[in-house]
């Protein structure tokens, strides 16, 4: 029988069982194909920092893009559209059609919406892929994110939280998909909230694209379908499948069948748009196994590098220390100090994690770039402080390939199902367990074996976190027993255990046998308070994370000061990493982790000339800087993806100017934030969080409350606030400095006599961007 590309024709041919199969995922990332009708499988992929492909950990390589906060810091429509173009080309290499992005860019809804419009247009320009606006809506915290009920008044909902979505939906190129958030809004989970989806999104905004749930975020069977949530993700189905067939069979209202047809129509429309209808049966089946590749042109790489530089915000340059031009730097000695100097934090965790094509590091990039500019410079490194939350993952040069044997019963008993080989000590099995075990609730286990040879002699530390039971053996002896744990940590979206640590004396280059055994943990009893509030696809696999920290230096702070004192310039690179900014938990402090603040104050007091200290912070959100008033030079570098180090070297050496402005207000201290003493505002009480601030979010809050932040929204050296009256404003921007650069013109408006209520209404970037 010839297959059809006509949607109405296909709807008449689909059985109820096939329609129900269409409205829920087949596996972790793809929809269900229907081979007999030539209907292929839609492939989704995270996400906001690049096209990851079909595996969340250890998958195919892809270009690692700067984080959304960095993209927002460019304040550049052109830059963000260019990122969309790179993503579109990457989608082809991953044989994917649905990109699970963009997410929010900024505290300001107008800036977020304006940049999101360009992002979507860039992704969808070639027609081979569609973007997914997420997370709809009021997804403002990670604590209890699956169950929290956000109470938001309609004014704030419209002015702040819905506005970026409205701008995208009503824009010239609406996103092909939209993803609902985990949380409830005013008493109803978003996937089953008819006011949000049917009343506002469908009826008021006239959106007819596909609406999907977040992963594990479908909270009902009939209600979500009736509200207009078309697709439950991931698969195998939890809320639909046979449950939906049963609901249809007993539906006395007759409303479910039309709702099912509407959702199938929207799914088929997207399949038609992405050329996945009218396939042969064999081609339809093959859409779930198309191989992935990784290729990015030099032009795309340069685009990413430029965007990272354009996002870098110069917060202070009191002594005009930057840029480090040849006449300042030639034949000088430069100390790179700090926990991020040799890692160049690339991105956050969760859906932002990637397997990059490569990773440029700040110090190494600087050492490579300086000679290209004719600069001879002596560069040395000292860590000074640590900022890891968990012990670092085992590096590939420390151990042999990992062998994983999977068994279909707990405690490495039963039948051997499959053997895998890996190089990474993070074993997230959500989408990498054997196919026969993915999505199952039946307990299973695995045994990992390897040999580890440390590079130094001393007391080395091991750390183990897991979902489920786990035990670590070294040379046949049990070192860590993480079975029957009860205390949750923040690993694995906060479904994992706290890290269990033990130390062991080891000899340099002497191999030790490592065996790690892990088993599924049975679902909690209803009365258990030590388990997460809900079960989720991310909480059922016996995943593990093995950390290893070699014997650390005796006094890293003293060593860093000694190096700094004999150097002409000190580049101190501080900040956060993907361990601190990820999914499943909120940061509970603005403080830099570890002894990073102590490192700053030690250098400030111990350097003969503190003016030559350059501080670079890498993070996706604000951190407190109690030493900011005493430091002459501060750069905010964000998470820059795989070009983080190269772009930072460009900025430090004056190849490119720091072109960014802050896309969020930067508080001076945690106590300056509105929710600091009100648990109802965060993290919530009895499962309810109340948005008492209404529309006073970000800089609006600081203005209304007359609280002075450390740096205002939109700040970056060179910014000049220009206030206009009326509806038409023209101005010229002149560069009066000594270096090439770009500027962001920001226009705010307010009611007469209400300057504290001003809000951003227009912005434009000069220079390489549109005039």
Does pLDDT of 534 surpass 70? no
Q: For residue 540, what pLDDT is reported? A: 84
Least confident range of 117-121, 440-444, 595-599, 722-726: 722-726
Q: What is the pLDDT of residue 525?
A: 52
Query: For residue 347, which phi and psi values (nearest 5 degrees)?
Result: -170, 175
User: How many Cα atoms within 13 Å fall on the side-chain side of residue 285?
Assistant: 5
Q: Which two tokens stand for residue 78?
A: 């052109």
Distance of CA 203 to the CA centre of its chain: 31
3-state SS class at 9: helix
Alpha carbon 375 to chain centroid, angstroms: 37
Alpha-carbon distance of 193 to 196, in angstroms, equals 6
What is the helix (H) or strand (E) element at residue 618, kind and residue range? strand 613-618
pLDDT above 90 covers a percentage of the chain that reads: 82
pLDDT average, residue stretch 547-561: 91
403-431 mean pLDDT: 94
Q: Any idea which residue has 């004999």 for tokens? A: 566
Beta strands in 183-274 (DSSP E): 184-185, 188-189, 210-212
**Is the N-terminal amide bond of 47 cis, ω within 30° of 0?**
yes
* Nearest-10 crossing angle of helices 242-249, 256-273: 140
pLDDT tens for 24-55 read: 999 999 999 999 999 999 999 998 899 999 99
In the numeric block, which tokens belong to residue 191? 């996937």
User: What is the average per-residue pLDDT within 252-268?
Assistant: 97
Query: How high is the pLDDT of residue 713?
Result: 97
- Mutual angle of helices 298-311 and 644-652, in 10-degree steps: 60
pLDDT of amino acid 31: 98
Q: Is 540 helix (H, G, I), strand (E, B) or coil?
A: coil
Angle CA 680–684–687, to nearest 5: 130
Strand partners, 86: none
Structure confidence at residue 303 as a pLDDT band (50, 70, 90): very high
The tokens 């990670």 sit on which residue?
A: 142
Are 752 and 727 in contact, with CB atoms under 8 Å apart?
no
Does pLDDT of 551 surpass 90? no
> With contact defined as beta carbons under 8 Å apart, do 434 and 482 qualify?
no
Model confidence pLDDT, tens digit, residues 425-434 = 999 999 999 9
Contact indicator for 560, 382 with CB cutoff of 8 Å: yes
Domains and CATH numbers, the chain: 7-43+97-286 (3.20.20.300), 298-386+554-765 (3.40.50.1700), 396-526 (2.60.120.260)
Q: What is the pLDDT of residue 768?
A: 47
- What is the arithmetic mean of pLDDT over 475-483? 97
Q: How many CA atoms lie within 13 A of 446 on its CB side?
A: 26
pLDDT tens-place string over residues 623-641: 999 999 999 999 999 999 9
Catalytic (active site) residue 214:
yes
Query: Distance between CA 453 and CA 570 in Å, rounded?
Result: 34
Among residues 214, 238, 431, 769, the one annotated as catalytic is 214
On the question of a cis peptide bond just before residue 135, with omega within 30 degrees of 0, the verdict is yes
- Residue 58's pLDDT band, with cuts at 50, 70 and 90, is confident
**Size of the chain, expressed as the number of residues it contains:** 771
Q: What is the DSSP string of 409-452?
A: SGGG-S-EEEEEEES-SEE--TTTS-TTTTT--S--EEEEEEEE
Average pLDDT value for residue range 113-122: 98
- 304-347 residue pLDDT tens: 999 999 999 999 999 999 999 999 999 999 999 999 999 889 99
Identify the residue whose tokens are 């650390």.
552
**Amino acid 726: pLDDT:** 41
Q: What is the pLDDT of residue 256?
A: 98
């Amino acid at each position: 029988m010839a297959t059809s590309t006509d949607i109405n024709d296909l709807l008449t041919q689909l059985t109820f069982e096939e329609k129900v199969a269409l409205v829920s995922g087949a596996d972790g990332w793809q929809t269900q194909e229907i081979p007999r009708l030539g209907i292929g499988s839609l492939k989704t992929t995270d996400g906001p920092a690049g096209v990851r492909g079909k595996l969340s950990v250890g998958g195919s390589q892809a270009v690692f893009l700067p984080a959304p906060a960095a993209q927002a810091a460019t304040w550049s429509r052109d830059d963000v559209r260019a990122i969309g173009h790179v993503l579109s080309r990457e989608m082809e290499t991953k044989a994917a059609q649905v990109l699970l992005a963009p997410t929010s860019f900024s505290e300001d809804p107008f800036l977020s919406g304006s940049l999101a419009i360009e992002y979507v247009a860039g992704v969808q320009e070639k027609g081979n892929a569609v973007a997914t606006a997420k997370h709809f809506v009021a997804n403002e915290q990670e604590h209890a994110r699956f169950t929290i009920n956000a109470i938001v008044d309609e004014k704030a909902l419209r002015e702040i939280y819905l506005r970026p979505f409205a701008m995208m939906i009503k824009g010239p190129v609406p996103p092909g998909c939209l993803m609902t958030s985990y949380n409830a809004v005013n008493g109803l989970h978003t996937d089953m909230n008819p006011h949000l989806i049917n009343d506002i999104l469908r009826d008021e905004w006239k959106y007819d694209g596909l609406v999907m749930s977040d992963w594990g975020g479908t909270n009902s069977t009939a209600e979500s379908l009736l509200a207009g949530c078309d697709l439950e993700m991931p698969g195998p189905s939890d809320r639909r499948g046979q449950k939906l067939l049963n609901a249809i069979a007993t539906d006395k209202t007759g409303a479910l069948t039309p709702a099912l047809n509407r959702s199938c129509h929207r799914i088929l429309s997207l399949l038609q748009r992405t050329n996945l209808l009218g396939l042969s049966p064999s081609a339809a089946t093959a859409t779930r196994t198309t191989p992935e590749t990784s290729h990015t042109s030099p032009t795309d790489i340069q685009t990413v590098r430029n965007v990272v530089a354009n996002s870098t915000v110069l917060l202070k340059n009191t002594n005009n220390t930057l840029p480090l031009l040849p006449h300042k730097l030639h034949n000088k000695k430069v100390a790179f100090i700090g926990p991020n100097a040799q890692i160049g934090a690339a991105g956050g965790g969760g859906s932002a994690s990637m397997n990059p094509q490569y990773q440029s590091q700040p110090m190494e990039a600087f050492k490579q770039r300086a000679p290209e500019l004719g600069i001879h410079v002596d560069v040395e490194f000292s860590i000074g402080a640590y900022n890891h939350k968990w012990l670092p993952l085992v590096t590939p040069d420390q151990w042999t390939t990992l062998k994983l044997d999977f068994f279909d019963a707990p405690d490495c008993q039963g039948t051997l199902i499959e053997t895998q080989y890996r190089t990474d000590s993070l074993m997230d099995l959500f989408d990498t367990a054997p196919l026969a075990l993915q999505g199952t609730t039946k307990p299973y286990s695995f045994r990992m074996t390897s040999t580890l040879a440390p590079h130094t002699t001393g007391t080395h530390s091991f750390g183990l976190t897991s979902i489920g039971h786990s035990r670590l053996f070294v040379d046949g002896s049990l070192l860590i027993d993480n079975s029957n744990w009860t205390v949750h940590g923040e690993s694995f979206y906060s479904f994992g255990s706290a890290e269990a640590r033990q130390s062991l004396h080891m000899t340099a280059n002497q191999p030790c046998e490592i065996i790690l055994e892990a088993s599924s943990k049975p679902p909690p009893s209803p009365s258990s308070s030590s388990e997460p509030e809900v079960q989720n696809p991310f909480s059922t696999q016996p995943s593990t994370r093995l950390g290893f920290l070699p014997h650390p230096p005796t006094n890293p702070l003293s060593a860093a000061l000694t190096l700094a004192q004999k150097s002409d310039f000190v580049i101190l690179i501080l900040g956060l990493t993907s361990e601190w900014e990820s999914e499943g938990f909120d940061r509970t402090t603005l403080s830099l982790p570890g002894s990073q603040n102590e490192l700053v104050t030690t250098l400030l007091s111990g350097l003969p000339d503190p003016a030559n200290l350059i501080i670079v912070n890498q993070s996706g959100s604000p951190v407190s800087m109690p030493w900011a008033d005493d430091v002459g030079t501060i750069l905010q570098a964000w998470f820059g993806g795989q070009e983080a180090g190269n772009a930072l070297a460009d900025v430090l050496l004056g190849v490119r100017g720091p072109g960014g402005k802050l896309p969020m207000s930067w508080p001076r201290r945690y106590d300056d934030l509105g929710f600091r003493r009100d648990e109802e505002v965060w993290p919530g009480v009895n499962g309810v969080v109340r948005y008492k601030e209404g529309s006073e979010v970000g800089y609006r809050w600081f203005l209304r409350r007359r609280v002075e932040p450390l740096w205002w929204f939109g700040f970056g050296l060179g910014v000049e606030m220009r206030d206009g009256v009326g509806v038409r404003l023209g101005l010229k921007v002149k560069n009066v400095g000594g270096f090439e650069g770009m500027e962001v013109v920001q226009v705010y408006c307010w009611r007469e006599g209400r300057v504290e209520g001003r809000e951003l209404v227009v912005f434009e970037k000069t220079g390489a961007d549109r005039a």
